[in-house]
Structure 1
Amino acid sequence: MNLELTKAEEKVMKILWSIDKGLIRDVVKEYEEPKPAYTTVATIIKILEKKGFVGRKPIANSFEYYPLIERKQYTNGYMRSFVKNYFSNSFKNLVSELSSQEDLTTEEMEELITYFKNKIDDKKKK
């Protein structure tokens, strides 16, 4: 499955993840002003169906749409693709780039170190 979404597709998925399921009008209702046209959202949902991200079931004279992929699954796939395409498939290169940014505070770097130490300890216990 291609895990890359356009910004518009990603917006619809974020809405569906937050509401779990809904009609097109329910998705449109969740947008901030100016809201997109109903037909625009319908087109995006149709594309997401073809990509395998969204399923549907008939409800009266319409369809109820729901995510077929979990947010975490999408995020993991997106991050792996991002690291592969921009950091030579190396998380070390990503962290190195982030840590070299001048706006990263010492406290944030210490939080990262603590986070990774805890992850290492968890993996060693398995």
Structure 2
Amino acid sequence: MKINHLTAAEENLMKLFWKLDSFYLKDIMEQHPEPKPHQNTVSTYLKILVEKGYLSTQKEGRIFKYKVLVPLEGYKKFLLKELLHHFFNDSGKEIFELLFNEKLISKEDLKDYFNHLDMNPVKSKAPKLEIANEILNNPKKDKKGKDKKKKKKKD
């Protein structure tokens, strides 16, 4: 699924939608903090977000029920990858250095993170080499699968 960029206003509404997950227009109007936007404005944004693929609609009588299609985590990953690509030359190291140098992440954060990781490497089973062993250990066969016998010259 391709994720599209959101404007600041669309992003602010999506923050509310991510909390609700499934909702009607009246739910948004009730939940939106003051100053509340006009209902027509919200309807326009809902239409745009449906077109961008962030929301889906289901008609229930005369009204629409909206459902979030792009989860918050998906949007966060999209934004981080965009940031990484456009400003950090696709280098996780560069973004990490900035976070660390600007004290946006601490050594304790890193210790906690790495302590929670399973640092034991996964041991994979060695592949069975039955076919290779068969080829290496069997006498040569011709294209039809018959054993080739070496003819010895009689002296």
Q: TM-score, normalised by structure 2?
A: 0.69
1:76 match: secondary structure: helix
Q: Report the Cα distance in structure 2 between the residues aligned to 1:43 and 1:119, rounded to whole angstroms.
A: 44
Match of 1:121 among 82, 105, 119: 119
Supply the distance in 2 between the matched residues of 1:5 and 1:120 (Cα, whole angstroms): 36
Any stretches of 5+ residues in structure 1 without a counterpart? none
How much identity, in percent, do the aligned residues show? 29
Q: What residue is the counterpart of 1:111 in the other structure?
A: 109
Please state if 1:34 is matched with 2:35. Answer: yes
Residue 116 of structure 1: how far off its partner (Å): 4.1
User: Number of residue pairs matched?
Assistant: 122
Q: What TM-score, normalized by structure 1, do the two folds share?
A: 0.83
Runs of 4+ in 1 over 2 A off after TM superposition: 107-110, 116-120
What is the CA-CA distance between 1:82 and the residue it aligns to? 1.3
Larger RCO (CA within 8 A; separation ≥ 6) = 1
Task: Return the letter of the residue paired with 2:31.
Answer: E
1:9-60 CA distance string (max 9 Å, x none): 1122221221121111211222211011111111111111111111000122
Greater Cα offset, 46-55 or 67-76: 67-76
Q: Match for residue 101 of structure 2?
A: 100
How far apart, in 1, do the equivalents of 2:116 and 2:87 lie? 27
Which structure has greater helix proportion?
1
Larger radius of gyration: 2
Unpaired segments ≥5 residues, structure 2: 124-155
